[in-house]
Structure 1
Amino acid sequence: MRTLFLTLFFVAWLSYYSFVAVRYGIQGLAPSVRRTVLLLYILASVAALVSPVLFVRWASSGWPSNVAMHTVHVFVGLFLGQIVMASVMFLGDLFVGGKAVLLWAHDAWFPPPPAGSGNTVSRSAFVGQLAMLLGGTITGGLLYGVTRRYRYQVLNVTIPIAGLPKAFHGLRILHLTDIHAGSFDDSAAVAKGVDLAMAQQPDLIVFSGDLVNNRADEVLPYLDTFAKLSAPLGVYSILGNHDYGDYLSWPTPEAKRENLHRLKAYQQQMGWRLLINEAVTLQKGGEAITLAGVENWSGRAGFSRYGNLTKALSDTVADRPIILLSHDPSHWEAEVVDAHPQVALTLSGHTHGMQFGIESRWFRWSPAQYLYRQWAGLYRRGRQSLYVNRGFGFLGYQGRLGIPPEIALLELVEAPQAT
């Protein structure tokens, strides 16, 4: 009951303030135009309020069609824009602090215009126009991000590894994650992404989970495409939280298990070596390092913990550097750092960088940072490193705004000796 009340309160608040923002923002238009705009806005607002429900329902069962998928995302973009508009108007009301303060502020900041002047904009109109501008920017930006979802970015990262054997100095690891094949709607664009990855000429390719959204068969149209991934030291993969089918209602437990079995078989068919809580030895020039992979293990409540790190590292050589594949970056602080110092590098994904944010030389921000301490890029703790890839695909929001899909090329170098 409390949740229902809060939801209804939020809907009422959003509807009122966003409507007021539009009403004030279009004051300068002709009356007939204002009425048309307001009517269209009311209809779009109703659709926008319903869209998050459809968004969650359809995303959990597979999108019914590309038309429906993009229609919902248009309205989700509008819904988020409305939140911004309502917030601006609400903050404006808080700033005014009541009718008396509003009158005083109006007289002090916006004195009556001279007779005959018609170009002064009232404070209400200004706030409404500002709200519409900011809300429209959010909505427009999210729609623009839909056009950027296949603009793959190659990131070159140098990672120091203590005790790295000489034969592995300069080792080039291609790190992919979060393909989410069920979200794709452009096979040619995906193929170009794979070609771009192979153009980096890696020594080793690793994939850190979430090949599909829910169903193993989502990857069927792309088996030949991802089978093109190859490297001298092989292609290795692990499972992510979406690969288990946990977010669907299956008719029987056997159907769910069969789905996972098919997913594993598809990876084998593509030539990928799936690591299930186990480790393998990679040899080069007569020397060796260890590559280990765990099933999904999350440090956050509500996500699966199938991984068994102890089992994965049980047969490893103590003085040999270990590269660990673990889908969820929260696993790093929860079980890896300090507890397993031989794990020199952990490779993760999962966050997608929330597919929305700002990254520059001077400033980094994404909503992902409020959920994960390590959400994108390279992190160091003593002699241990974590690299969080922003993901190759997309999920939910069918776009990428400020956080492009990533192909990471990691070069291993010997860490400087401590003095």
Structure 2
Amino acid sequence: MRWIIFILFYAAINFYSYQAIKTLSKNFWVQALFIGLSLIFLGYFLFYWLQPATGSVFTGKRSVAFGLLLSFMAAEMVLIAFLMGEDIIRTLIFLKNKIVHPEVAHLPGRRKFVSTLALGLAAIPFGSLLYGMFKGKYNYKVLTYEINFPDLPEAFDGYQITQISDVHSGSFDNLKKVKYAIDLINQQKSDAIFFTGDLVNNTADEMEACQELFGELKAKDGVFSVLGNHDYGDYVHWDSPQEKKENLNRLKSIQKQMGWKLLLNEHTYIRKGDAKLAVVGVENWGKGGFVKHGDLDRAAAELSKEEFKILLSHDPSYWQEKIKAHEKEFQLTLSGHTHGMQFGIEIPGWFKWSPVKYRYENWAGLYKEFNRYLYVNRGFGYLAYPGRVGMWPEITVLKLKKASANV
């Protein structure tokens, strides 16, 4: 039934969009091209979406089919917005003439200028989403920040960390591009690397093709990680609870094999002489139906308020819920999860916007409350829509600086 409703909806918006094409050109081949594309995109989408799938999170050709259809429909929605606006004006003019001059009243025709403008503007989301699929998803950006802390141990003044998040390895279709990004991370020569969850989309075996690549990540003080909501296998229909448990254990084992230190509601220390920096990792805790395995109190049970702490928490909603006002004062929290919705507009240092801001208060970049910091990484990989527009895949480099106590 849902497919029938979707097809009827798709047919309706295509019929309406077709009116703009007819206004622009009477050429049969131009009109046929539009109809042909609409049928091809729909057919490609339905073919792959009606195939059996391992998990409910769509990847591979299913996501490509979704991306192509999304691109086409986004363009159509722009067309429809202009057509509806013009049709409202045409109707008002007709009603006015019907009252004033009923004998000559007629519905004005659509103007070619409006259809031309609408089609030109519709090409922007269409082209942007296609670019995001074929280029943008591997358009890695290194974003560098310097953060000052009065209570940072002197020995860690200038300490540099690199954060990546949301790898979603099951989505990759070009490991050469991923290899480039891994090399880019290592080129930063950070003292430590932190990964803040979602290594896979659905199952641990997604890491088979790129385990060796991510095992190449190196930092003097090591690579530390936590689990994200996708890592638990919750989006797969398992034959038994034991099978699901084995999948999670395998994912944990993979991280160990890669040389990563996986923190499961626990903490460890990075030491420099007598000075130390606590690295705390909580399991996923998220609002809105996401799993809540995170236990901050357990992870920090043996830590004092005075110790300098870096907390890894996949979902930034936990920062708002509990972390930012916690009595033990977590000076820096690193999160991911939002992907910046893989779509947005950003002018660094001036302006950033994405629809995801209406879902998450903290969704990308650096935030500060109660003299504590949160950084939300925009994500390394991609999910569902197989691309990125404006919110490019991110490698974050943070330099920690010792500030004077009165700053």
User: TM-score, length-normalised on structure 2?
Assistant: 0.89
Q: Residue 366 of structure 1 aligns with which residue?
A: 354
Mapping 1:15-414, distance limit 5 Å: 15-44=11-40, 46-47=42-43, 50=46, 60=56, 63=59, 66=61, 69-96=63-90, 98=92, 100=94, 123-146=110-133, 147-298=135-286, 300-360=287-347, 361-414=349-402
**Corresponding residue of 2:105:** none
Q: Secondary structure at the match of 2:276?
A: strand
Q: Which amino acid aligns with 1:192?
A: Y
- Identity, % of aligned pairs? 38
Specify whether residues 134 and 157 from structure 1 end up closer, same or farther in structure 2 by C-alpha distance, changes over 3 A only: same
TM-superposed deviation, 1:246: 0.5
Does the 8 A contact of 2:57 with 2:384 survive in 1? no
* CA contact 1:161–1:345 (8 Å) conserved in 2: no
- Residues 233-286 of structure 1, C-alpha deviations (whole Å, 9 max, x = no match): 111100000000101111111110000000000000000000000011211132
Tell me by how many angstroms 1:338 deviates. 1.5
Do the aligned partners of residues 235 and 31 (structure 1) sit closer, same or farther apart at CA in structure 2, a change above 3 Å counting?
closer
Q: CA deviation at 1:32?
A: 2.6
Shift of 1:15: 3.8
Relative distance call for 1:102 and 1:77 in structure 2 (3 A) is farther
Aligned CA-pair RMSD:
2.9
> 2:104 maps to what in 1?
none
Do the aligned partners of 1:277 and 1:292 also contact (CA within 8 Å) in 2? yes
Change (3 A) 1:125 1:59: farther
What SS does the aligned partner of 2:210 have?
Answer: helix
Give TM-score scaled by structure 1 length.
Answer: 0.86
The Cα shift of 1:125 comes to: 3.0
Following superposition, the deviation at residue 191 of structure 1 comes to: 1.0
**Structure 1: where are the runs of 5+ without partners?**
105-120
Distance 1:227 1:49, change over 3 A: closer
1:91 alignment partner, SS class = helix
Q: Which amino acid aligns with 2:69?
A: F
Once the 2 structures are TM-superposed, how far is the Cα of residue 189 of structure 1 from its aligned partner?
A: 1.2
Instruction: Please list the CA deviations of residues 364-413 of structure 1 after superposition, one character each: whole Å capped at 9, or x if unmatched.
Output: 11111111111110000021000000111111111111111111110011
Contact 1:17 1:90 in 2 (8 A): no
Q: Do the aligned partners of residues 28 and 149 (structure 1) sit closer, same or farther apart at CA in structure 2, a change above 3 Å counting?
A: closer
User: In 2, Cα distance between the equivalents of 1:72 and 1:58?
Assistant: 17
Shift of 1:42: 4.9
1:317 counterpart SS class = coil
Count of aligned pairs:
397
Question: Contact conserved, 1:47 with 1:75, CA < 8 A, in 2?
Answer: no
